[in-house]
Structure 1
Amino acid sequence: MPHFTFEYSANLDNQVDFAALCRAVHETIMKTGLFELGAVRVRTIRCDAYAIADLLPENAFIDMSFRIGVGRTKDERKATGDAIFATVTDFLAPLFATPHFALTLEIREIDPDLSWKKNAIHPRLRAKSS
């Protein structure tokens, strides 16, 4: 962990460079110093079917979900959320110039007893940094 997901309305495809946005969030996550490089995942999920607010076709959304393992303080989680939200808000500034865009972020801790992982990336990156 951490796993960061952008879930977004398909009408944003021509308005947002999601590859660049993923890289910007990845960089912000790494700058916190709270997460190991081999664990970071940032991805998008495009939603083709959606109904937003008053159903105007120009209404759009991005819902961000950040799932992390336990072990960070509430202050660390809050600072991380603030940093990510600022990065994304700055990146998407043109969308906020319209009255049709909604952005949300939620951070969730994963119960370690109910989470299974196998990662071949960690050993490679750990050996590289030694």
Structure 2
Amino acid sequence: MPHLTIEYSANLDGRADIGALCETLLNTVLETGLFEIGAVRVRALRADHYAIADRLAENAFVDLNFRIGKGRTTEEKKRTGEAILAGAAEVLAPLFETPHFALSLEIREIDAELSWKKNAIHPRLRGK
């Protein structure tokens, strides 16, 4: 962990640079200094089927789901959430010029007893 999943409405294709959003958010997470580089994942999932608010075709969304392991203070989590939301809002700024866009973020803390991982990236980055 941490894993940041970007879910977005398909009608953002051609209107938002989702690749740039992924890169910006990866950098933002790393810049917090709270997470080991080999653990960070940012992925984007396009929602082909959705219904938003009053069903106008222009309505669009980006939903950020940030899953992290335990061990950070509430203040650290808040600071991280604010940085992630600010980074996303900057990349997606043109979308806020219309009344048809929604951006959301939730941080979820994962219970280590119910999370299994096998990671070959950590040893490489740790030099072991």
Is this a same-fold pair by TM over 0.5? yes
Q: How does the TM-score come out when normalised to structure 1?
A: 0.97
- Distance apart, 1:39 and its partner CA: 0.2
Residue 12 of structure 2 aligns with which residue? Answer: 12
Q: How does the TM-score come out when normalised to structure 2?
A: 0.98
CA distance in 2, matches of 1:17, 1:90: 12
Q: CA RMSD in A?
A: 0.8
CA distance in 1, matches of 2:34, 2:116: 20
How many residues were matched structurally?
Answer: 128
- Distance apart, 1:20 and its partner CA: 1.1
Unpaired stretches in structure 1, ≥5 consecutive residues? none
CA distance in 2, matches of 1:92, 1:19: 12
Q: Could you tell me which amino acid in structure 2 is paired with residue 88 of structure 1? A: A
Alignment of 1:57-72 (within 5 A): 57-72=57-72
Tell me, yes or no, if the aligned pair for 2:38 and 2:121 is still in contact at 8 Å: yes
Post-superposition, which runs of at least 4 consecutive aligned residues in structure 1 deviate over 4 A? none
Q: Could you tell me which amino acid in structure 2 is paired with residue 91 of structure 1? A: V
CA distance in 2, matches of 1:63, 1:84: 12
Cα deviation, 1:61-96, whole Å, max 9, x if unaligned, reads 001000000000000000000001011111111000
